Amino acid sequence: MTAAETFSICTKPSQHYDPRISENIVVWHGNRNGNYDIYGFDLSAKSDFLICIDEEEQEDAAISGDIIIWVDHRKGGYVYDIYGYDLSTETEFLITNIRQPTGPWRGPNIDGNVTIWEDDLKGYWEKYGYDIRGYNLATKTKLPICVNPSHQACPKVSGNIVVWTDDRNGNGDIYAYDLSTQTEFAICTNEAYQGWADICGNIVVWQDERNGNSDVYGYDLSTGIEFPICTELHEQVGPLVSSNIVVWEDERHSWRQEKLDYWFYGYNLSTRTEFPIARYDAIFGMGLQDFDGDTIVYYDMEGEGTWKIMGLRLP
Ligand SMILES: [Ca+2]
Ligand SMILES: [Ca+2]
Ligand SMILES: [Ca+2]
């Protein structure tokens, strides 16, 4: 097997975070101009470009096709607007205002015309939790996806299906919502913890602790069948799926070392075979950010105070 090819996307000395990828375009937020802006990189042209350099803070970019979205604070640090940018027309537009999150919060996600986010409409995250809400860019309508009183988090969307981590049963489960039928359904309610779901087409994957350590499980929406993807005895975390490939961060090589040894591993759903991808130097072990086609994007520390955006092509 050939080695995975690692390459730099942005190594300019400052902080660059949370890359997301769709086909040949990678987007992220970075502060090389003294405040956080939204940047892009074209993998085919090997050149970077500016998406939004407003002098206030922009963060948490996401991308699907020609549409890039992010959280924008141009009206003030406590104002959370979601803005969009259309690469095909080179125009920026305001999508919606959301309430300032009161607790740990992950940025919005987008697929096609549907953008979704963790919503803190009631405030007081620790008491009321977050909901999942969205917006359809084509119909210009709001989507109240899940407003259950308990905590819902980490939503991802693919086509008509939204998945998220749901705490209504008190132990972390995977729930889903079908935008076409406007119906919610459970994907996994095992009594152990499940979370960090991702979806591509009919395949949902997540991190699962039913065996006493973190594993990766999957579910096929077309058959309604759940299946284990990796149940190795060490920690497997943060799975992502694109087409027929699942990737995750894996600690199986850490057993003899004081310092954790992080690898990316993958699984081919068609051939049902697992494969190592690459070892990487992570400071906090939260490197793996997004995955599309054959390309992983992640971020890593380089020297004092520089966080760089990296890419990795599967072997
Ligand atoms: Ca800015
Ligand atoms: Ca559970
Ligand atoms: Ca495991």
Angle in degrees, CA 63, 69, 75, rounded to 5: 160
Which ligand has the shortest distance to the CA of 189? 2
Q: How far is the CA of 97 from the centre of ligand 1 (A)?
A: 17
pTM comes to: 0.95
Question: Which ligand approaches the C-alpha of residue 54 most closely?
Answer: 1
Tell me the pLDDT tens digit for each residue of 107-154.
999 999 999 999 998 888 888 899 999 999 999 999 999 999 999 999
pLDDT single digits (tens) 94-109? 999 999 999 989 999 9
* Ligand at shortest distance from the CA of 212: 3
Which pLDDT does position 259 carry in this prediction? 66
Ligand 3 ion: residues within 5 Å (CB): 213, 215, 232, 236
Closest to 82 in 3D by CA, of 270, 91, 90, 92: 92
226: exposed, middle or buried (C-beta count within 10 Å: 0-12, 13-18, 19+)?
Answer: middle
Whole-number Å distance, alpha carbon 191 to ligand 2 midpoint, is 4
Name residues of the chain where pLDDT drops below 70. Answer: 1-2, 255-260, 281-286, 303
DSSP-assigned beta bridge partners for residue 113: none
